[in-house]
């Protein structure tokens, strides 16, 4: 199976599974899945988050998701338990479609690593 086909198939399985678990069957968008990764990484599941916190959670997720690609490196947890990352390498200029593929690939890898899919 071609790499693109495998990614597409795994992505669809992941979206279906996450949507059933967290969105009552409504299809989760890419941003919502990134947000879920942020909550997973923070580990504070039963907390209400403000808009700024939600953006920070998405930032945590993006750092964690792109860490295996060498773009970010975990640095420390602050006193509130929030992880902090440093930029190791600037992201290349990517078109919107290329960004989406990179993030989907990183998300699928994240959930495969955790044996969720």
Looking at every residue in the chain, the average pLDDT score rounds to 95
Find out whether 67 and 83 touch, Cβ atoms under 8 Å. no
Question: What does the domain layout of the chain look like in residue ranges?
Answer: 3-113
Q: Which residues contact 60 (CB under 8 A, 6 or more apart)?
A: 38, 41, 42, 82, 83, 85
pTM of the model: 0.92
Q: What is the pLDDT of residues 9-31, one digit of tens each?
A: 999 999 999 999 999 879 999 99
């Amino acid at each position: 199976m071609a790499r693109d086909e495998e990614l597409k198939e795994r992505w669809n399985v992941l979206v279906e599974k996450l949507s059933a678990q967290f969105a009552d069957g409504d299809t989760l968008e890419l941003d919502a899945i990134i947000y879920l990764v942020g909550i997973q990484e923070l580990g504070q599941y039963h907390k209400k988050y403000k808009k700024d916190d939600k953006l920070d959670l998405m930032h945590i997720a993006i750092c964690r998701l792109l860490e295996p690609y060498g773009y970010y490196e975990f640095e420390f947890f602050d006193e509130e338990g929030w992880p902090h990352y440093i930029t190791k390498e600037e992201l290349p200029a990517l078109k919107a479609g290329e960004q989406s593929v990179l993030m989907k690939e990183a998300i699928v890898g994240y959930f495969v690593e955790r044996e969720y899919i």
